[in-house]
């Protein structure tokens, strides 16, 4: 058993009252770490420290120095990527080969956004008023409450923390109680980089901790990654005290394969889009829409590959797919899969829990002949299951793809460049991949449509999320103005 502490205003400590909970390793089903169970008092201390830094030491830190600190953090992350990856793989069950890749990529976020820290500026305005010099200032939005999901805790934190730091904000993070250890380890690296106390605090615990953070009157913005249902509640709680919100929520993304697609590339992309993370990503390509003329061949090839995926211990580099986050996910997914099979769909691959491996394993699954009325066609499963729907025309493919309540991402496979541009324009989603899937970069914005959320992460646009604009009017005239007029 490993034991962790929370990081509040530059101090490592246990939660008020000494409360703790155990983190369960999905692969073994056994507790492996003890995590502090924070209280409302801990949250209040963290927000107080963040506010003090916002108006004190961090405000007084020059933008070039903010950037230097972020570069220093990036160097430390590079040096400790393997350690961070092992902690995360153990905590959330995702395979080590993926977690190592994510951990090695983390530094890119802090270098990219660190480069923006001293490039934020307002503008002068030629206003329609005589004798005024008018300009704007860009200011940090303030104290940010960041709530992250369990599936990629430190990467999702980078989406929020890196642009927030560049903008001059301070941040209090509440990671998921299902996987908190890697965020606490990250805070050690953050402290080592030399940031002032209070710029980052980490509080851990269940929903009550998140509720306290969102509701705190000194939290000026809430950035959340998670389910749509929880995001809706967080948005309502934040707006109650007029905090800004950025919500990256659920998805039911379509991977569309047209008849002229390169099938070798398409098969690889379909597999990568769903099984690489056991389907436990918001952008998972969980709906395979395929032209009827190639459907049988494509489904057969995807199913054949799915049946050969190496499932097992996530800490083994030979493993291609690990467990789900817990047995409850297996049960929920299997109920929806069973319902589809009962309604006439079939399963050319998988379709059942892998009980011999443990209670948190589900087979890589392909469900074919799915109809729009089936729950599997519209419900986010967050598991390794592809729902196959067939189409006959481009118009039909677009209509099916846009038929869910979500709009996070979509992929399309075609060798016709005109079709690629035409379909990408009409798909209702924040990210469209053409002849690729599940590719992300710190330089490219990600956002949602419909019930997949609001706000933008990554790219230059992400910095703007953490800024607010102040207008300044300087009266250059020596003349006394009429006090009863405006303008």
Supply the Cα-derived Rg of the chain in whole angstroms: 24
Exposed / middle / buried, residue 386 (Cβ in 10 Å: 0-12, 13-18, 19+): buried
Per-residue pLDDT of the chain (487 residues; tens, 9 = 90+): 999 999 999 999 999 999 999 999 999 999 999 999 999 999 999 999 999 999 999 999 999 999 999 999 999 999 999 999 999 999 999 999 999 999 999 999 999 999 999 999 999 999 999 899 999 999 999 999 999 999 999 999 999 999 999 999 999 999 999 999 999 999 999 999 999 999 999 999 999 999 999 999 999 999 999 999 999 999 999 999 999 999 999 999 999 999 999 999 999 999 999 998 899 999 999 999 999 999 999 999 999 999 999 999 999 999 999 999 999 999 999 999 999 999 999 999 999 999 999 999 999 999 999 999 999 999 999 999 999 999 999 999 999 999 999 999 999 999 999 999 999 999 999 999 999 999 999 999 999 999 999 999 999 999 999 999 999 999 999 888 888 876 6
What is the token pair recorded at 311? 């499932």
Domain with CATH 3.40.309.10 in the chain: 254-434
Predicted confidence at residue 481, as pLDDT, reads: 80
Q: CA–CA separation, 179 vs 13, rounded Å?
A: 19
Inter-residue contact 424 to 412 (CB < 8 Å): yes
Exposed / middle / buried, residue 464 (Cβ in 10 Å: 0-12, 13-18, 19+): middle
Instruction: For domain 254-434, say whether CATH 3.20.20.70 is its number.
Output: no
Q: Choose, from 282, 320, 457, 465, the residue flagged as catalytic.
A: 282
Q: Name the one residue in this structure whose structure tokens are 């998140």.
A: 210
Q: Choose, from 98, 248, 320, 380, the residue flagged as catalytic.
A: 248
pTM above 0.75, yes or no: yes
Q: CA–CA separation, 40 vs 169, rounded Å?
A: 22
Q: CA–CA separation, 33 vs 24, rounded Å?
A: 7
Inter-residue contact 182 to 84 (CB < 8 Å): yes
Domain with CATH 3.40.605.10 in the chain: 2-249+452-471
CATH code for the part of the protein at 2-249+452-471:
3.40.605.10
What is the token pair recorded at 95? 């395979």
Q: Is residue 169 annotated as part of the catalytic site, yes or no?
A: no
Q: CA–CA separation, 404 vs 387, rounded Å?
A: 13
| 3-state secondary structure (DSSP) of residue 156 | helix
Q: Is residue 248 annotated as part of the catalytic site, yes or no?
A: yes
């Amino acid at each position: 058993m490993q034991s962790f502490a929370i990081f509040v205003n530059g101090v490592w400590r246990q939660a008020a009252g000494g409360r703790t909970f155990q983190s369960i390793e999905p692969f073994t089903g056994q507790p492996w770490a003890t995590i502090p169970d924070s209280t409302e008092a801990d949250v209040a201390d963290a927000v107080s420290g963040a506010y003090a830094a916002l108006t004190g030491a961090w405000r007084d830190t020059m933008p070039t120095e903010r950037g230097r600190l972020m570069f220093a953090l990036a160097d430390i992350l590079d040096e400790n990527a393997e350690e961070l990856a092992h902690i995360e793989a153990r905590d959330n069950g995702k395979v080590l080969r993926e977690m190592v890749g994510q951990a090695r990529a983390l530094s890119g976020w802090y270098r990219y956004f660190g480069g923006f820290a001293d490039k934020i500026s307002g503008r002068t305005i030629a206003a329609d008023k005589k004798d005024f010099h008018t300009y704007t200032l860009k200011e940090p939005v303030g104290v940010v409450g960041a709530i992250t999901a369990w599936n990629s805790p430190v990467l999702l934190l980078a989406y929020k923390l890196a642009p927030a730091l560049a903008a001059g904000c301070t941040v209090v993070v509440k990671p998921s109680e299902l996987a908190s250890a890697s965020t606490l380890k990250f805070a050690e690296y953050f402290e080592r980089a030399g940031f002032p106390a209070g710029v980052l605090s980490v509080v851990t615990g269940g929903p009550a901790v998140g509720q306290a953070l969102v509701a705190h009157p000194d939290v000026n913005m809430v950035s959340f990654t998670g389910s749509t249902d929880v995001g809706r509640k967080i948005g309502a709680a934040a707006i109650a005290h007029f905090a800004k919100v950025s919500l990256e929520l659920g998805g039911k993304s379509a991977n569309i394969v047209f008849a002229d697609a390169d099938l070798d590339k398409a098969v690889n992309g379909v597999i990568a889009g769903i099984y690489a993370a056991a389907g436990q990503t918001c952008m998972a390509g969980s709906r395979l829409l395929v032209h009827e003329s190639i459907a049988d061949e494509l489904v057969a090839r995807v199913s054949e590959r799915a049946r050969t995926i190496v499932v097992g211990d996530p800490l083994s580099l030979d493993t291609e797919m690990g467990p789900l986050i817990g047995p409850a996910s297996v049960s929920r997914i299997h109920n929806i899969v069973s319902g589809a099979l009962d309604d006439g769909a079939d399963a050319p691959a998988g379709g059942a829990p892998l009980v011999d491996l443990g209670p948190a394993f589900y087979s890589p699954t392909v469900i074919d002949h799915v109809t729009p009325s089936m729950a599997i066609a519209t419900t986010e499963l967050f598991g390794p299951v592809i729902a196959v729907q067939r189409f006959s025309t481009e118009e039909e493919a677009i209509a099916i793809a846009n038929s869910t309540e979500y709009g996070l991402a979509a992929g399309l496979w075609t060798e016709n460049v005109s079709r690629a541009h035409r379909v990408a324009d009409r798909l209702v989603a924040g990210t469209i991949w053409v002849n690729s899937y599940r590719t992300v970069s710190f330089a490219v914005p990600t956002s949602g449509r419909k019930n997949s959320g609001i706000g933008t992460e990554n790219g230059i646009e992400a910095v703007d999320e953490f800024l607010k604009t102040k207008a300044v009017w300087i009266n250059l005239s020596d003349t006394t103005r009429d006090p009863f007029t405006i303008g």
